[in-house]
Structure 1
Amino acid sequence: MEVLGFLFRWSHVLFGITWIGMLYYFNFVQGGYFKQASPEGLADAKAKLAPSALWWFRWGAMGTFLTGVIMLYTVPSAMNNYIYIGSIFGTLMFLNVWLVIWPNQQVALGMKDGDAAAAGAKALLASRHNVLFSAPMVFCMLASGHGGAGGWAALDWSAPSMLAMLAIIALLEINALKGKQGPLTTVNGVIGSSLVLTAVMVAVLNIL
């Protein structure tokens, strides 16, 4: 079981690197290139590069999610507030990929019929929120292996800290689906917002 647990953790990290790496590529690199590319270059990238990158992106998300679920139920670990908050972040990010980003990107790239501009905007909004969620999610992955007091304590869904974090996450996910980018519009803005959200999470889980 110890070897099996290690293999699941190893696979989880590899899938996660693939997924989050592609997420950062789309938001930090490809988006900027699309704005500056020539019409010919943009058309070529949409036809060849983006579909390939999206394949690795969505299946990296799938692998990360499935290995994470398996680890929750089969690999002994410290089941504290952080591991569950991190799991919620990861699950929402996974659902955003498969239910929002990927379907809308197919329309935006001309792979399916529809309003390309509207679909692209929906995909971008969800993608930006996935970047927002990424730093606190990774923090939770690392923090979940520790024990102690406050935010490191065993899970308690009724604790004010957990209820507050669930409310914050719910509001952010609603904004990812129906809201606006706000400070997430720029690369610096979304990176800064992700770090701020991480700090807020740590404060909430350790103070309330």
Structure 2
Amino acid sequence: WWFRWAAVVTLVLGLLIIGVTENYMQDFMSETSTYGLPHNSAIFVGMIFGITMAANVWMVIWKNQKIVLANAANVLAGGEANPDAPAAGRRAVLASRQNMVFSLSMLFYMVGASHFFGPLYDGQDAGKAWTFVIISLVIGAILELNCLGKLGGTATTNKLLWPYENHKNAMYASVALWVVLYILGEIFLKA
């Protein structure tokens, strides 16, 4: 159960940090305040990835794991197997590995934004910062829709699901996503 509650604690603490930071939402991505635009846009992308990961844990992984666990308990008790259990297990695995894909970029942007998007990046205009955010979120949305089976289904024959077929592929995809987003950050966020 720890991973579900860790997702909640992380989400709540992130929202609290936003709430206690002076003028955070007032200055966030404002045309009138160019100071901190790269930092704010990087943190925003990390926040959206983190929120998506928490949603995956609670609305996809846990929901489907309950089906798999109930099936296992039923079979151990001598009952018949639930025919929906394999598909539920597959959906849980795909969402879990998508969380792995998002995790490196989320960590980089949430933790590293103040370190990697400092004075060299200040003075950027809001248009470029929003372009970075929109492109990053479109990439994230495509990946999320893919793991949910909205782009070709969840069958093992769907070649679009290669990042989720094993842990190694998920780690490679995580690094690839981070590299793509880092390059986008260099293009759109550097002054």
> 2:173 corresponds to which letter in structure 1?
S
For 2:41 and 2:83, the matched residues in 1 are separated by 42
Asked if 1 retains the 8 angstrom alpha-carbon contact of 2:67 and 2:88, the reply is yes
Pairing 1:141–2:121 present: no
> 1:144 corresponds to which letter in structure 2?
A
The one of 172, 178, 183 aligned to 2:163:
183
Cα RMSD of the aligned pairs, angstroms, is: 2.6
Corresponding residue of 2:179 = 199
Q: How does 1:5-44 map to 2 (within 5 A)?
A: none
Asked if 2 retains the 8 angstrom alpha-carbon contact of 1:162 and 1:205, the reply is no
Q: List per-residue Cα deviations over 1:132-185 (Å, max 9, x = no partner).
A: 000000111222224234499586586322221121111111112124531331
Under a length normalisation based on structure 1, what TM-score does the superposition of the two structures give?
A: 0.66
For 2:111 and 2:123, the matched residues in 1 are separated by 11
The one of 107, 126, 135 aligned to 1:164:
135
The one of 102, 118, 141 aligned to 2:62:
102
Corresponding residue of 1:125 = 94
Asked if 2 retains the 8 angstrom alpha-carbon contact of 1:82 and 1:140, the reply is yes
Quickly say closer, same or farther: Cα 1:151–1:200, change in 2 above 3 A. Answer: farther
Q: Single out whichever of 126-135 and 103-112 deviates more from structure 2.
A: 103-112
What is the CA distance between 1:74 and its match in structure 2? 1.0
Asked if 2 retains the 8 angstrom alpha-carbon contact of 1:104 and 1:122, the reply is yes
Asked if 2 retains the 8 angstrom alpha-carbon contact of 1:81 and 1:151, the reply is no
> 1:125 corresponds to which letter in structure 2?
L
Structure 2 unpaired stretches of 5+: 25-35, 75-81, 155-160
Q: How many residues were matched structurally?
A: 154
Stretches of 4+ moved more than 6 A in 1? 111-114
Q: List per-residue Cα deviations over 1:46-100 (Å, max 9, x = no partner).
A: xxxxxxxxx1010011101111111112135765211000000000000011011
Quickly say closer, same or farther: Cα 1:67–1:155, change in 2 above 3 A. Answer: farther
> 1:191 corresponds to which letter in structure 2?
M
Q: Single out whichever of 170-179 and 198-207 deviates more from structure 2.
A: 170-179
For 1:57 and 1:152, the matched residues in 2 are separated by 39
| Partner-residue secondary structure (3-state), 2:114 | coil
Corresponding residue of 2:2 = 56
For 1:199 and 1:115, the matched residues in 2 are separated by 37
Structure 1 unpaired stretches of 5+: 1-54
For 2:133 and 2:5, the matched residues in 1 are separated by 30
Structure (1/2) with the larger helix percentage: 1
Task: Report percent identity of matched pairs.
Answer: 35
